[in-house]
Amino acid sequence: MVVIAIIGILIGLLLPAVQSAREAARRMACKDNLKQIGLAFQNHHTKYGFFPSGGWDWDQAPTYDHGVPMAGAQQKAGWGFQILPEIEGSSVQKAGTLAAIGTPDPTFFCPSRRSPQTFVRQDKYAPPLTSTVVTHAMCDYAASNREQTGVVKRYEPVSLREVTDGTSNTLLVSEKRMNIRKLGAPQDDDNEGYTVGWNEDTIRRTDKRPEPDHQGSEDGEKLFGSSHPTVMNAVFTDGSVHPISYEIHEDVFRWLGDKSDGETIEHKDLL
């Protein structure tokens, strides 16, 4: 009995350590995803002279011209679709509209939250693509910001010279807050997927500080956030990845999202 009790105590001590190690590994994988996304934005800028835009609207499908994906203000899909060639997704992008919308990419998923996931819903594109249903590949990351003061704006793309606060002071893409109880079920911020143009699926607000995932009745409420216990991961416009605390001051987070407000950020203020 004594031996059994000792074994039970040891297991009780080991389990939290194992869980902590696993979460550390998942958070590192999440950081690697954001590093790839940040590099993809930079490569896109090198190629075109501007960053990916936020697209047009939620009911607009990816835009092609004779099978070639459009870029810049002519592309109605969002930033996720636009960076596909830079994250080894060229074949998916070239495969056409339905393939691009419905093919999940592991780069867009935080392993602390879920594995790559799709969502099937009624075709709501204008004009319709199938007149029946469409499979959408989801996304755990969002760009800054819905206030249109960030690097990713609606319709028109932003160039590097417009980031006057400095690339190391400006948020680019981070994790988004989710209702994890409703993953895979209809909710406004997790139903169009990574290709969507100007929608809370892929664009979040910086005028309110981030919050962790929850299991209530609401969705993510357009906030940044994550499934990590105390911080979320974020990539800045210079490509560097940083943790940001849920306790960050609201003013600091707002400054971080604004590319040209004249405010500079000390990285100690992120935690």
Instruction: Specify the pLDDT at position 210.
Output: 98
pLDDT (average), residues 75-100: 97
**Does the structure show a pLDDT above 70 at 88?**
yes
Residue, of 23 and 222, whose pLDDT is higher? 222
The Cα–Cα gap between 60 and 90 comes to: 20
Look at 15 and 104; give whichever has higher pLDDT. 104
Average pLDDT, integer, range 209-214: 97
The percent of residues above 90 in pLDDT, for the chain, comes to 86
Confidence bin at 267 (pLDDT 50/70/90): confident
pLDDT over threshold 80, residue 215: yes
CA distance 77 to 62: 5
Instruction: Quote the Cα angle for 139-222-177, to 5°.
Output: 55
Residue 16 banded pLDDT, cuts 50, 70, 90: low
What confidence tens digit (pLDDT) does each residue in 43-56 have? 999 999 999 999 99
Distance CA 94, CA 42 (A): 21
Strand-pairing partners, residue 244, are 232
pLDDT value at position 15?
Answer: 46
Tokens of 270: 């992120």
pLDDT band at 155 (very low <50, low <70, confident <90, very high): very high
Least confident of 21-25, 107-111, 117-121, 184-188: 21-25
Asked if pLDDT for residue 2 goes beyond 70, the answer is no
Q: SS3 for 214?
A: strand
Q: What is the pLDDT of residue 10?
A: 46
Q: What is the pLDDT of residue 248?
A: 97
8 Å CB contact between 102 and 119: no
**pLDDT band, very low/low/confident/very high, at 5 (cuts 50, 70, 90):** low
Q: What three-state secondary structure class fits 90?
A: helix
**The predicted structure's pLDDT at residue 185:** 87
pLDDT digits (tens, 9 = 90+) for 163-193: 999 999 999 999 999 999 999 888 899 999 9
How confident is residue 12, by pLDDT bands cut at 50, 70 and 90? low
Is the pLDDT at 13 greater than 80? The verdict is no
